[in-house]
Amino acid sequence: MKSVKQTKMKFFTTLSIFLLAGVLVSCSDDDIVIILGNMNIQLELETGLSDIPLNDINVQATNSTDNSEYSVTTDANGLAIFENLPLGNYDITVLEATENYTISGSATEISLVDSEIVTETITLSATNPNATLVIKEVYSTGGSSAVLIRDQFIEIFNNSFEVIYADGMYLANLFTPSTDNSVGDGLSGEDATNNVYARDVVQFPGNGQDYPIQPSSSIVVAFNASDFTNELLSTGIDNTDATIEIYSVEWLEANGGSGNTFFDSNNPDIEDMTNIYIMQQISGFYSISPSRPSIALVSADASVSNSDVVTYTNPDITSQTFPLVRIPVAQVIDGFETLESDDLADYKVIPDNVDAGFAVISPDGSNPSFSGKSVIRKVDEVATARFGRTILLDTNNSTVDFESIDAPDKYGYNN
Amino acid sequence: MIERYNLFSPRLSFSSKHSQFNIRTAWGLSYKAPAMIQLYPGRTYIDYTNLNYFAENPNERLAVVTTYVQEPTNSQLKPNYTDLKEIGFDWSPSFWNFQFTYFRKELRRGIQHTDELVLLPRQGYEVIDSPPNQQPAVAPIEGELTYIPRILKVFKNNYNVDTDGVEFVLSGLKIEPSNSEVNFRYSYLKSVRTNLGFNIRNPNFVIGDNTARFGVFENSILQHNRSFGTLTLIQHIPSLRFVLTLATEFNFKDYRINKNASQLPYAYYDIDGNFIQIPEDQRDSEEFNDLIQDPSVFDPITDTPFYTNLNLQVRKETKQGHSFSFYAYNAPWYNPEYVQNGNTRQLNQKLQVGFSATILIE
């Protein structure tokens, strides 16, 4: 006969075996959870890009199951090493912005399924931050005393990396006082530091995608899309390759003015800019000053109505006034100003926050009218080398950004 | 009918002489028929473009232009008439003659230009065939008829002038020892000119399509005050049969003021030619800033400073009775300048010289 004490001992022994077995089973489950993987992300630049260092760039991995995020900074060779990542699928993103460029790249669904090291290469693209349309060239002087100013044109260049549509944008010919006065001197109560003032305005027609400007390419707005190369043995230029032209004869006549078919011809194969605003005092045709053009490219968000028209009073002849269109600088995409000489800086018409300087068409002091000279924006050599495509200098300072050339160079920068 | 063809011009005058004094008064009414140039002022040509077709080949270019010919026959014009009243006296002692006259002249129905807005039809054209090296064939576009607004000048009997004048003449004042003679004439005129016609002006600016409006303005009343005189010295040299005449013009005052001239329109014509009144309290509002006129369209005040002008005439007679004379107006070529409304203006801009000879054939 077994004793009660023996029975109790057998029970505790059996219980201890079960508990020990339970402890051993628990220790086996913990070993499976701690298996991790490593992932190496190698960054490289897209073909054509250069001068963009790849070290110290933040690379982000996002687990597509639980959205947990992991960040690593690249080494000197552009390699980001993620160590001990939980197994799973990851999306990789790279986005780094500096003052001079923005680089980006991504990869999706990179599987980390075992303890092996996964290596992935991501090709980075780069863009020029804040780049947009710029006025590339203003040819105002006219080809000769026979052509006069009929072959004028304005060229607009896309400095960005995306197609931009000019539809609805405005070109404003800015008012320049005829005497040595600042434009603000004749505009009582106006904030001339935050507005520009136009004497005539035309607008790109289109339904939103009719006038694309490809990256690093340009479009040309001719005052007459005509061929002036052989006219009267003159040395004008051929503007039949213009994107669009300005034509106002019939519009002016329908509004009580007089058109001028000599200065304002119509090429039916080239679309016309929409006539938006003109002072009756200059009724006849659109043109820009051959010696002192000042132009603003204005956003399609702008509008022109009676409430935007202000009166400029000549400070020297107070009975002489000019109705001008007020355009806030916030709506100016790009501005371009010229003066006849360097010592006239006090008479700039574009505020410094749009254009801090000005170009001079004839730095040698010769008369620019009918000289064939043009003013062209310089190439940004550093950015062009970095991005592998033509980027024009855009410091919002025409003194720095533009140079005078002896003959126009229409479409000269198009890649 | 009588109003149109009445050219009856009565005049009554009365004078009464008392010793060295002569008192005179007069009243007259005169009619003046419209001049031929006013009745048939000649054609006005207005060109506008129906089609302006450009081709790279100059031989293929074509412009279709309409010339609107306005040939006015202003047969509706009536004669203007002038009512003149004057009163004065003469005093003629032995050593001089003095004349004083006051007059008032009222011109009515004066003929003057006034503005008229017309809408000229413009037919749109299109190119229907463009053969190489030839001008294209064109045809009117059915239904594309628009209108071109234009402001024309037409003659109307819309001009009134009221003039008050004072004039005195001092003559025959002789200085016997030197064979000299001195005359002086002085005039003061004040006139008020009123134009009752339309004053239509193009808009200051145009925004977009179909927004052009043509402001209608009150014509100003022009008041003109002028005060001037002439001092003449005549020097005889009998032994040489020579006469020297020096005349100095004194331009004391030449003052013009445009009264009631307004930069604000009281109405406008829209692009379709509809006449629309503008409430008085809205005429200076932003809504009509395309119509508000630049002050330079009229000078509010023109005030010429005092200046003189010297004229010279010499005359020589021969024993045989022939005479030769030479004159020079503004002989010293004196051109005073003054600044008016910011503009520098020059006076005495004309220099006239002449020579004449009288040959006596017996």
- Cβ of A254 and B146 within 8 Å? yes
**B335: how many CB neighbours lie within 10 A of its CB?**
13
Selected for mutation to probe chain B from A197, A239, A250, A252 (highest B CB count within 10 Å) is A250
The interface pTM score, or ipTM, of the predicted complex is: 0.73
* Per-residue model confidence as pLDDT tens digits over B22-72: 999 999 999 999 999 899 888 889 989 899 888 777 788 888 999 999 888
A–B CB contacts, 8 A cutoff, strictly below: 111
Scanning every residue of chain A, which has its alpha carbon at the shortest distance from the alpha carbon of B148? Answer: A254
Find the angle CA(A137)-CA(A138)-CA(A143) to the nearest 5 degrees: 115
Measured in angstroms, the CA of B185 and the nearest CA of chain A are apart by: 37
**In the prediction, which pLDDT does B1 show?**
53
Least confident range from A275-289, B63-77, B98-112, B277-291: namely A275-289
Residue A118 has pLDDT above 90, yes or no: no
Does the distance separating the beta carbons of A320 and B54 come in below 8 Å? no
pLDDT of residue B81: 92
Q: How confident is the model at residue A3 (pLDDT cuts 50, 70, 90)?
A: very low
Tell me what pLDDT residue A238 has. 92
- Closest residue in A to B54 (Cα) is A267
| Residue A279 bridge partners (DSSP) | B205
Please tell me the predicted confidence (pLDDT) of residue A179: 67
Residue-level length of chain B: 362
**Is the CB of A267 inside 8 Å of chain B's CB atoms?**
yes
Give the list of residues 6+ apart from residue A195 with CB closer than 8 angstroms, or none.
Answer: A326, A327, A328, A329, A351
Percentage with pLDDT > 70 across chain B = 97
Helix or strand run (H / E) with residue A6: helix A4-33
Tokens 């007679």 belong to B317
Q: Is the pLDDT of residue A30 over 70?
A: no
pLDDT value at B319 more than 80: yes
Minimal CA separation from A411 to chain B, in Å:
20
pLDDT for B296: 66
CA A168, CA A244: separation in Å to the nearest integer?
13
Among A150, A239, A255, pick the best mutation site for testing chain B contact (most B Cβ within 10 A). Answer: A255
Write down the pLDDT at residue B172.
85
Per-residue confidence (pLDDT) for residue A2, from 0 to 100: 44
Residues A243-255 have a mean pLDDT of: 92
In this complex, the residue of A261, A277, A317 whose CB is nearest that of residue B52 is: A261
B-chain CB neighbours of A239 within 8 Å are none
Q: Which amino acid does the sequence have at A220?
A: V
Spatial contact of A141 and A223, defined as CB atoms under 8 Å apart: no
Q: Please choose, from the candidates A219, A218, A233, A234, the residue with its C-alpha nearest in 3D space to the C-alpha of residue A149.
A: A234
**C-beta atoms of A319 and B151 within 8 A:** no
Shortest CB distance from A280 goes to which of B149, B204, B210? B204
A341 SS3 class:
coil
What pLDDT shows up at residue B186? 97
Q: B340 — contact with chain A (CB < 8 Å)?
A: no
Nearest CA in chain B to A266: B54
pTM (whole model) above 0.80: no
β A58-63/B275-277 pair status? unpaired
Q: Are A276 and A308 in contact (CB under 8 A)?
A: no
B207 in contact with chain A, both atoms CB, cutoff 8 A: yes
Closest listed residue to residue A276, CA positions, set A248, A312, A242, A244:
A248
Whether B122 has its CB under 8 Å from any CB of chain A: the answer is yes
Measured between its terminal Cα atoms, the distance across chain A in Å is 107
In one-letter notation, the amino acid at residue B302 is T
In which band, very low, low, confident or very high, does the pLDDT at A7 lie, cut at 50, 70 and 90?
A: very low
The conformation of residue A185, written as its DSSP 8-state character, comes to G
Mean of all residue pLDDT scores within chain B: 90
Longest dimension (CA), chain B: 97
φ/ψ (deg, to 5) at B239:
-65, -30
Q: Could A265 and B299 be called an inter-chain contact, meaning their C-beta atoms sit closer than 8 Å?
A: no
Which pLDDT does position A313 carry in this prediction? 87
How confident is the model at residue A273, as a pLDDT? 97
Express each pLDDT in B78-106 by its tens digit. Answer: 999 999 999 999 999 888 899 999 999 99
Contact flag A276-B296 (C-beta cutoff 8 Å):
no
A284: alpha, beta or left, given left = phi > 0 and alpha = psi -120 to 50?
left
B287 in A contact zone (CB under 8 Å): yes
Contact list in B for residue A319 (CB cut-off 8 A) is: 294-296, 299, 341-342
Of B83-92, B102-111, B339-348, the range with the lowest mean pLDDT is B339-348
Tens-digit pLDDT profile for residues A11-28: 444 444 444 334 444 444
- Closest Cβ–Cβ partner in B205, B210, B289 for A279: B205
Q: Could you report how far apart the first and last alpha carbons of chain B are, in Å?
A: 56
Confidence of residue A138 (pLDDT cuts 50, 70, 90): very high
Whether A1 has a pLDDT exceeding 50, the answer reads no
pLDDT 10s digits, B204-256: 898 988 788 999 998 888 999 999 999 999 999 988 899 999 999 999 999 99
Q: B162-187, pLDDT tens digit by residue?
A: 999 999 999 988 888 889 999 999 99
pLDDT, position A11: 44
Q: How confident is the model at residue A335 (pLDDT cuts 50, 70, 90)?
A: very high
Window 224-263 of A: residues touching B by CB (8 A cutoff) are 226-227, 240, 247, 249-257, 259, 261
Q: Does B128 touch chain A (CB under 8 A)?
A: no
pLDDT of A99 reads 85
Average the pLDDT over each of A181-185, A303-307, B2-6 and give the range with the smallest value: B2-6
How large is the average pLDDT for residues A91-115? 89
State mean pLDDT over B324-352.
Answer: 87
Distance CA A160, CA A127 (A): 7
Rg (CA), chain B: 30
- What is the overall mean pLDDT for chain A? 87
Backbone φ and ψ for A387, nearest 5 degrees, come out as -95, -10
State the residue for tokens 């028929």.
B33
Query: Is some CB atom of chain B closer than 8 A to the CB atom of A323?
Result: yes
**Would you state the structure tokens that stand for residue A350, as one six-digit string?**
């574009």
Identity of the residue numbered A272 = D
SS (H, E, C) B298-333: CCCEEEECCEEEEEEEEEEECCCCCEEEEEEECCCC
CA distance A82 to B172: 124
Identify which of B208, B294, B295 has the shortest CB distance to residue A276.
B208
